[in-house]
A and B are shown apart, each in its own frame.
Chain A
Amino acid sequence: AQKVTQAQTEISVVEKEDVTLDCVYETRDTTYYLFWYKQPPSGELVFLIRRNSFDEQNEISGRYSWNFQKSTSSFNFTITASQVVDSAVYFCALSGGSNTGKLIFGQGTTLQVKP
């Protein structure tokens, strides 16, 4: 069975601090895809990144970076120099390569960035 665990329910930081959101996944598929989505208070899920299981290179996009480690089944997300606008719920999700594309979501991590 596929499963995504986001152990951090809520994180609170002060603006300009760095923060890392953890994501651990379980799957028996050899080909799979990992995603991060942001859900601001407005409620709409915003796509941030997709990573396939064969690409373990870390990725950086502005203040965002992602660390994918197959050895520990983790796909962590770091925000550098956090800003108040980063306050949202962040979801990690998994899609098996052989299935229909269904996303299995974690429980989400609520990030609060205080000024």
Chain B
Amino acid sequence: EAGVAQSPRYKIIEKRQSVAFWCNPISGHATLYWYQQILGQGPKLLIQFQNNGVVDDSQLPKDRFSAERLKGVDSTLKIQPAKLEDSAVYLCASSLVGAGGPRSEQFFGPGTRLTVL
């Protein structure tokens, strides 16, 4: 079974530029998550989708970050304009179900390492 796919793996941009990340979850997984992991810290949830609807985006900086999952499968996360503090690894994860309990284990992709200069 294929895992969570993400691209690109690495991205370097100048501040104030825009960038987009792509994620394809495990087939059949209804729930998709985007996490931000700053160096030396644990991942922090940015947004959670259940199919193509947003469940939780309380920690998404909506003035510059946006995300969509139009057909309930793959998803894109965009930053516009980027700031220096956005330098981090952006992790995508998916799970069969969204709430805690059986089948709620989240499986992570390899991440996209973003460097903002």
Query: Are A47 and B107 in contact, with the CB atoms below 8 A?
Result: yes
Given the known interface contacts A95-B104, A100-B56, the answer about A106 and B42 at a Cβ–Cβ threshold of 8 Å is yes
Binds B, one of A11-19, A37-45, A56-64: A37-45
Q: What are the residues of chain B within 8 A of A103 when measuring CB–CB?
A: 33, 35, 43, 45, 106
Q: Which residues of B contact A99 (CB under 8 A)?
A: 56, 99-100
Supposing A100-B56, A108-B42 touch, asked if A50 and B104 sit within 8 A by C-beta, the answer is: yes
Q: Is the CB of B111 within 8 A of A44?
A: yes
Instruction: Report A-chain residues with C-beta under 8 Å of the C-beta of B89.
Output: 43
Which of A32, A46, A99, A100 counts the most chain B CB atoms within 10 A? A100
B23 on the A face (CB < 8 A)? no
Q: Does B44 contact A (CB under 8 A)?
A: yes
- Cα–Cα distance between A103 and B43 once the two chains are bound (Å): 9
Residues in A whose Cβ lies below 8 Å from that of B31? 101
A-facing residues in B92-117 (Cβ within 8 Å):
93, 95, 97-101, 104-111, 113
Q: How far is the CB of A95 from chain B (nearest CB, A)?
A: 4
Give Cα distance in the complex from A105 to B33, angstroms.
14
Contact A33/B101 with A47-B106, A47-B107 known, Cβ cut-off 8 Å: yes
Q: Which of B35, B41, B99 contacts A100 (CB 8 A)?
A: B99
Chain A residues with Cβ under 8 A from B101's Cβ? Answer: 33, 52, 97
Whether the Cβ atoms of A43 and B111 lie closer than 8 Å is yes
Residues of A whose CB lies within 8 Å of any CB of B are 4, 31-33, 35, 37, 42-47, 50, 52, 91, 93, 95-97, 99-103, 105-108
**14 residue pairs bridging A and B, Cβ less than 8 Å apart:** A31-B100, A44-B111, A45-B43, A47-B105, A47-B107, A95-B100, A97-B99, A99-B56, A100-B99, A101-B33, A102-B48, A103-B33, A107-B41, A108-B41
Besides the known contacts A33-B100, A52-B101, 12 further A-B residue pairs in the complex with CB atoms under 8 A apart: A44-B110, A95-B104, A99-B56, A100-B55, A100-B98, A100-B99, A101-B99, A102-B33, A102-B45, A106-B42, A107-B41, A108-B42
